[in-house]
Chain A
Amino acid sequence: MDARVFSPFIDTFFQVLPGLGFKKVERGKLSLRERLSATRDVTALIGLSGGTRGNIAISMDEGTAKKVASIMMADRPVELLDDMAQSAISELANMLSANAMTIVGQNGVSMQVSPPTLITGEKISCVVSMVQSLNVEIFTEAGMIEINIGLES
């Protein structure tokens, strides 16, 4: 996997989250997986095309998602993962990927990202993309946000 493509998607958390009011942003475990998988309650899926094809899945538990949405909306309490909260998560994914793309471009790679699609559910048992993927844990005060980066070739 091309570091010029995947590292911007990790770096972007440290550049974007503090600006949104997150006080803690730390990197946890980094692991390589056989497939792209994101089995948490809430996942924002972003497609990559162009020079490199792949998927980015930003995944978190429901409790974390509510806290993330709350921070995004100036600490307004979020009881339910309703339309408003979902669009906040989706907007976060948008900002993270747009910022990452700026760095990818600076790295001299031509690529396009799709708008995020938000998947929520219970007991999500399997997420498949037929590519090897990098799984990175990002710890925030809202909880752990997992980023899965699966790139073809």
Chain B
Amino acid sequence: MRVRILVVDDSPFISKAIARVLPQDAYEICGVGKNGQEGIELYQRLAPDVVTMDITMPIMNGLTAAKEILKQDPQAKIIMLSAMGDEDLVHEARAAGIKMLLRKPFKGPDMLAALSKACALDNKSGAEDYAHQDDDYLDCFRRALKDTLQEMSGLDCILGETIPQQGILESKGLAAILSITGKMQGRVILDTSREVACWLCARMNGEEYGPEDDFVLFSLAEFLNIISGNATTELNNRHRDLNLRVTPPSVFVGRRLNINSPKVKAGIIRMETDAGDICLSVGFEGS
């Protein structure tokens, strides 16, 4: 039997986005409510297995609706979806005992994980909180790397697992470096070999470039600049008061190039391309 989901959200985009990530053989959206009031009515009428509930909605917000639903059915499984600016309501939701929180924009696998957790969940047992994961920032950079590559070169790439970086980064010969200031301070390094950089530059610009051409370096710097700009914008939108800003990128070329940021804890995202690997190392102080 398929799991029946009630989506309560004032944005039709969200119910579409949820529908898109659900395997149709396992889940179905049985109803869509546009505000808290409709959510309560539909819950009574449809008795869904799980509810996804936006927090900020007109007429009645998701928090009030969730509390009302839980009053009528203490076993109700509710996943709250929060967006930027919802922080106060998120606190209130937690205080009201709602443990399933997912931040928008969400990724497909996170939504599926939250749903399967919710289905298996006895509401009184401790549930996991998906909203504030420590490696949140690394995920933003992963997405930004993949999306930016796609936009700039039309290439799709396979990203390896994000692995923690210990100590010094041994460069493959060419490293673009950019710093980040704000509430979290750190640096982002895009590292590869000259050959791969030339190959990537050719894909981005539609022309071939020699290994000594400085244009390759400028392209790599710009690539890093856009990745970092996109990722920090997303992080700033998600977390108030972060005020992340990027500094202009620099590119270092040399032999036995090592990069060391003693106070930074970093994760490395490896991107496989036809020409070879490109690494993105993202690290913040004390993170």
Q: Give A residues with C-beta under 8 Å from B.
A: 36, 43, 45-50, 53-55, 57, 83, 86-87, 90, 112-131, 150, 152
Contact = CB atoms under 8 A, between A and B. Distances in A.
B264 A115 contact: yes
B254 interface: yes
B93 to A, nearest CB: 34
B8 to A, nearest CB: 40
B interface SS class? strand
Contacts of A131: 248
B262 A114 contact: no
Interface residues of B, number: 39
A90 B258 CA distance: 14
Contacts of B181: 47, 49-50, 112-114
Given A115-B179, A115-B263, 5 more contacts: A54-B247, A119-B175, A120-B257, A127-B253, A129-B248
Nearest to A91: B262
Nearest to B285: A115
B67 interface: no
A120 B264 CA distance: 17
A116 B186 CA distance: 9
Interface of B: 167-168, 171, 175, 177-182, 185-187, 189, 214, 217-218, 221, 245-264, 285
A112 B245 contact: yes
23 contacts: A36-B250, A46-B179, A47-B248, A49-B245, A50-B181, A55-B247, A83-B260, A83-B262, A114-B179, A114-B185, A115-B263, A117-B264, A118-B262, A119-B257, A119-B258, A120-B258, A121-B171, A126-B217, A126-B252, A126-B253, A128-B251, A130-B221, A150-B248
Given A114-B180, A117-B179, A90 B252 contact: no
B255 A122 contact: yes
B255 A83 contact: no
B179 A118 contact: no
B252 A124 contact: yes
A115 B214 contact: no
Contacts of A87: 262
A119 B221 contact: no
A117 B257 contact: no
A81 B181 CA distance: 28
A36 B187 CA distance: 18
Nearest to A57: B250
Nearest to B263: A115
A86 B250 contact: no
A131 B221 CA distance: 13
A87 B263 CA distance: 9
A126 B255 CA distance: 11
B177 A117 contact: yes
Nearest to B167: A83
Contacts of B249: 129
